[in-house]
Structure 1
Amino acid sequence: MTNKQHIIDRFFSYIKIDTQSDPKSTTTPSTEKQWDLANQLVEELKQIGLEEVSIDENAYVMATLPANVAHDVPVIGFISHFDTTPDFSGTNVNPQIIENYDGKDIVLNKDKHIVLSPDYFEDLTQYKGQTLITTDGTTLLGADDKAGITEIITAMEYLIDNPDIPHGKIRICFTPDEEIGRGAHKFDVEKFGAEWAYTMDGSQIGELEYENFNAAQAVVKVEGKSVHPGYAKDKMVNSMYIAQDFINSLPRLETPEHTEGRQGFFHLTSIKGDVEETILEYIIRDHEKEHFEARKQMMQDLVSEICSQYERECISIEITDQYYNMREKVEPVMHIVDLAQKAMEEVNVKPIIKPIRGGTDGAQLSFKGLPCPNIFAGGHNFHGKYEYVPVESMQKAAEVIVKLAELTASKYEES
């Protein structure tokens, strides 16, 4: 469909710009440098011929491809984020192109002995013979989610250049701060004006997701009593030992490193403590709402039990829900998932329907009234130096977008 070099050039122009977000910032976007790519995207969208191109005070970029059919078609949307994770450097990205990948180890950085190996990253084997874009071993790549942006703009450009392909009105949006959980916070659903949308933010080719974790954060505070250790008998209460009791009382095998698929977990993300006070930070995850609520209750019950053992309020917990499983919002409109599945099949991509073991802007948007399943963008090993993306996967993702637009128009012509 689209020239391979054209996609590579477009993708490179995005990943060269550092757009790392910052969870400690209170502004939107959380870093000034995100404006650099946001403003570049505005100009590019105008150049390729999209209409109603806008950027708001929070750097949300929106644009419209008008319908080219006379019958009524629901407005659909495509969304990607332009920030990259704060977990790993996105400065001075130096991508490498591996033509006709031979299925063997890829040396990312000879000097630092950094190797991308199919022995460890088994997904590599399915891309033998394809063109891979990798890092140089010193930064992330930025395919999460600049691959998604590349695919959306490429698909819009293709539809503009091929007006014989029927489609309804299409809205697109590029957002800041998704990587720090704020991508949907200031998303203007009413202004966007779509009946439903798709985030192009999944991983391997074929992924189609409409379920994600229910998520909460828990902060556990333990209060001890610090006295001189030489005179501590029956007086000192070491908060770190109480915290250890709490940690060890949760199911040890229900942690990220021991779970997969639909299995939920408790994840201890931080410990800060001394004798007087210890603070534990957890994230709680589960796909099933009933199990999610049970996990939160288990932690609250454990706090009460420990307090009763010490006969005082020595430990407290504050639990804050973060987001919910979008399945309950998408299932009533499952035709939007069916359309995506059919689009993949018609461009010879095998759909892989599975729950997301994480969150997505689509989850928050679904609860804001914009049902929003997630489609593959093609990248692998996000948030680190082993990140890579096959160019052919990006090409196929763009084809899926085009086919989705066409199928939606034909579906509503029939009805």
Structure 2
Amino acid sequence: MDNLVERFLRYVSFDTQSNGANKQCPSTEGQRVLAKQIKIELLELGLDDVILDENGYISALLPSNVDFDVPAIGFVAHMDTAPDASGKEVKPQLINNYQGGEIVLGDSGEVLIPAQYPDLDKLHGQSLITTDGTTLLGADNKAGIAEIITAVAYLKANPYIKHGDICIGFTPDEEIGRGANLFNIERFGADWAYTIDGGPVGELEYENFNAASAKVTVHGVNVHPGTAKNKMVNAINIAAQFQMMMPSEETPECTEGYEGFYHLNSMTGAVAKAELSYIIRDFDRNGLQSRKAFMQAQAEALNSQLSNGHVELQITDSYYNMREMVEPHPHIIELAKQAMIDCDVEPNIKPIRGGTDGARLSFMGLPCPNIFTGGYNFHGIHEFVSIDGMKQAVNVIVKIAENAAQNAK
């Protein structure tokens, strides 16, 4: 554990924010720079088959140390941070032995308040790493990277812990939905895997949203406003009408648990043309289809009212609920669950209100549930991580490897 925090702080110093507008892989050079650093560290650890490919994916192997067959288990994390907040020049703050109350984030004027983030009340006595209020932290998912490498280093340094092949992989561009696109499952070599990309301690997730994106383009007619009567069609006004036709109670801020939503996440506009970008989420595949059909019906309803101008809707599926690919293999969940119990961690099996690389990997033939990192408030300047939670994640990874070997005897 000695190097866990040091590793994490080193990784968050790299600016690896991904960029959805760039079609290259990785989408930003900072991810490739971090990948090169990680490759050096994996080679220094003496791992086998350390590969950094042309697309910025890293894989490595800790070979089995037993003479009987044990399933090869993978652990996966992603190198990029979310585009939602800057990841440049991250200045972490260390809060030792947190005893409650507000946490002032540097000189930014931002404050972590327990009333707003009640998870803080569960972390008294723990050591936390926060931001300085000007950037995100990068625990999503550099905590996962640090935890996986620390666990593998521990297994290698303690050969009395018996294990099968341990495959590790780090992906680029997960935050923009491309993390699994060029993942080489055959080369990776695992029978199944776990993404270490969850939040609070105990999270174990094998269900996620079915997801789609929708782009609404409104084509209007621009005429000088002084002579616009019966001629102008203001695309901005029509775009606003479309948004008002969406169910106001089915948005991220109004839903939880298994409830799906429509989320308007960006908009641009002028009189002649306006664009709305949505993400659509539902845990049920039929529910996702119904949501897509609803949006199509609203676009058609607006078009029927327009003599000039036009509403164009384009919907693209993003990923599906991994449950249908993981549930046929219950031993994968049970192995992680028992490992948590053995490490005095209470498993909290819950759906992911989002997606991970594991969702895509599961449909590519590599069942891949998600395990906690000990992080909170991802994608924003209030992100923080519990060092105690990170250590527990390392313990769980080690115990999964150990239990898999014991079960195979």
Sort the TM-score into its range (normalised by shorter chain): over 0.9
**How far apart are 1:312 and its partner, in Å?**
6.9
In the alignment, which residue of structure 2 is the partner of 1:93? 90
In the alignment, which residue of structure 2 is the partner of 1:80? 77
Between 1:279-288 and 1:86-95, the stretch displaced more is 86-95
**How far apart are 1:234 and its partner, in Å?**
3.2
Query: Partner amino acid for 2:237?
Result: Y
Between 1:249-258 and 1:370-379, the stretch displaced more is 249-258
Query: Which residue, out of 312, 315, 322, partners 2:318?
Result: 322
Q: Aligned pair count?
A: 409
In the alignment, which residue of structure 1 is the partner of 2:334? 338
Between 1:205-214 and 1:98-107, the stretch displaced more is 98-107
Query: Which residue, out of 143, 159, 164, partners 2:139?
Result: 143
1:32-72 per-residue CA deviation (whole Å, 9 max, x = no partner) reads 12222211111111222211111111121111011111221
SS at match of 1:332: coil
Pair 1:299–1:36, CA change in 2 (3 A) = same
Query: Partner amino acid for 2:91?
Result: N
**How far apart are 1:311 and its partner, in Å?**
5.7
Whether 1:155 and 2:120 are equivalent positions in the alignment is no
In the superposition, the TM-score normalised over structure 2's length comes to 0.96
Query: Partner amino acid for 1:73?
Result: V
Counterparts of 1:10-409 in structure 2, within 5 Å, are 10-109=7-106, 111-310=107-306, 314-409=310-405
Between 1:390-399 and 1:222-231, the stretch displaced more is 222-231
For 2:386 and 2:89, the matched residues in 1 are separated by 21
In the superposition, the TM-score normalised over structure 1's length comes to 0.95
**How far apart are 1:302 and its partner, in Å?**
1.7
**How far apart are 1:103 and its partner, in Å?**
1.1
For 2:223 and 2:18, the matched residues in 1 are separated by 43
For 1:136 and 1:308, the matched residues in 2 are separated by 51
For 1:177 and 1:311, the matched residues in 2 are separated by 43
Query: Which residue, out of 5, 8, 12, partners 1:8?
Result: 5
For 1:123 and 1:233, the matched residues in 2 are separated by 56
Between 1:270-279 and 1:226-235, the stretch displaced more is 226-235
Structure 1: give runs of 5+ residues left out of the alignment: none
User: Is the 8 Å Cα contact of residues 210 and 284 (structure 2) preserved in structure 1?
Assistant: yes
User: Is the 8 Å Cα contact of residues 216 and 313 (structure 2) preserved in structure 1?
Assistant: yes
For 1:231 and 1:91, the matched residues in 2 are separated by 49
Query: Partner amino acid for 1:410?
Result: Q
Instruction: Indicate the percent of aligned positions where both proteins have the same amino acid.
Output: 56
For 1:314 and 1:23, the matched residues in 2 are separated by 27
User: Is the 8 Å Cα contact of residues 108 and 134 (structure 2) preserved in structure 1?
Assistant: no
Between 1:381-390 and 1:290-299, the stretch displaced more is 381-390
Between 1:240-249 and 1:214-223, the stretch displaced more is 240-249
Query: Partner amino acid for 1:58?
Result: N
**How far apart are 1:208 and its partner, in Å?**
0.6
For 1:325 and 1:318, the matched residues in 2 are separated by 22
User: Is the 8 Å Cα contact of residues 233 and 309 (structure 2) preserved in structure 1?
Assistant: no
SS at match of 2:327: helix
**How far apart are 1:339 and its partner, in Å?**
0.8
**How far apart are 1:222 and its partner, in Å?**
2.0
SS at match of 1:202: coil
Between 1:76-85 and 1:134-143, the stretch displaced more is 134-143
**How far apart are 1:313 and its partner, in Å?**
7.3
For 1:235 and 1:139, the matched residues in 2 are separated by 47
For 2:210 and 2:351, the matched residues in 1 are separated by 11
For 2:178 and 2:272, the matched residues in 1 are separated by 34
Pair 1:139–1:271, CA change in 2 (3 A) = closer
For 2:32 and 2:371, the matched residues in 1 are separated by 25
For 2:261 and 2:174, the matched residues in 1 are separated by 22
Query: Partner amino acid for 1:388?
Result: F
For 2:408 and 2:402, the matched residues in 1 are separated by 10
Query: Partner amino acid for 2:169?
Result: C
For 2:266 and 2:203, the matched residues in 1 are separated by 32
Query: Partner amino acid for 2:283?
Result: H
